[in-house]
Amino acid sequence: MDKVKVLAVIGPTGVGKSKMAIELAKKFNGEIISGDAYQVYKQLSIGSAKITPEEMDGITHYLVDCYDYEDTYNVKIFQEQARKYISEIQAKGKLPIICGGTGLYIKAALYDYVFEEEQEDEAYSKLLNSLSDTELYERLKQEDIESAQALHPNNTRRIKRALMMNHLGHKKSERLQKQNHEMLYDAYILGLTVERSELYKRIDARVVKMMDMGLLEELQDIVKDDTTFALQSMRGIGYKEWQSYFQKEASMEETISLIQKNTRNFAKRQYTWFNNQMDVHWFDIRKPNIKDDIQQQVQNFIEG
């Protein structure tokens, strides 16, 4: 039995993935599944650069605006729902298109990732919470160097998760090695890129535009107190940076600058992650006739 064809449109934040995905959906009779970790939340629109109904231009989108910001949403839930929508779109005779920059989410949907039920040791969790970010990362390097090398030293949440796995007798790296990481679909991974300095200009300008659109007002509508920033939904860039502002420890200018800096750094990490984890066909969006070139490659993919 032939595998279902899936097109993935990936790339760093701010490069124009959504617009390209819509153009391809129109051209090739597709529907789009958002592969973004934060556009699912109804209340988080500006900071997540959520696509608007007008920008969708009549193309059906899934996993946009479907969860409350206080709801639980994670990669396991995304995996289950994305695969369900892939099947439904394919059954309609249409092309499933996953569009987004959250690499782990997209890989989890396309490859044979298996997520086991998470276990917890409360006493050990308290110990981890008492350690600094540096101490946590050093501990993980001692216990599971492969997992440490795969995680950013500041990704405290995932470092704690890996340490908890080790503590409970299941190293994260060993668990991953048991999985084959085979592609479940006939997928073409289309990556959009642009010269780094141009990308950074786009990112900085986009953050300024978010402020003009009312990003601060969006935060003021949902932030009740410090506990709001502990929610999963508030861990995204564009939201988490506001905690110091609301605590009156940082100015608005400092907060905007921090969002720009964190977004630029995130874009760098996205390139590294995609290049190391997936077979990406990269296209420089500034090249002449690039849209024609992309459409031809997608046509070749669809025709096999």
Q: Which pair of tokens denotes residue 188?
A: 């073409």
Is 238 annotated in some ligand binding site? no
| 15 known ligand binder | yes
- According to DSSP, residue 37 is labeled S
18 is an annotated ligand-binding site residue: yes
Of 202, 203, 232, give the one whose Cα is nearest residue 44.
Answer: 232
Gap between the Cα atoms of 247 and 264, Å rounded: 25
Are the C-beta atoms of 22 and 59 separated by less than 8 Å?
A: yes
Is residue 152 within 8 A of residue 269, CB to CB? The reply is yes
Report angle CA 70, 273, 74 to the nearest 5 degrees: 20
Amino acid at 209: K
Report how far residue 195's alpha carbon sits from residue 109's, in angstroms, rounded to the nearest whole number. 29
Q: State the Cα–Cα distance between residues 272 and 267, nearest whole angstrom.
A: 9
CA-nearest of 101, 86, 108 to 32 is: 86
Strand order in the sheet with 95-99: 61-62, 30-34, 95-99, 5-10, 186-193, 281-284
- Which residues make up each annotated binding site? 11-18
- Which residues make up each annotated binding site for substrate? 13-18
- Which residues make up each annotated binding site for ATP? 11-18
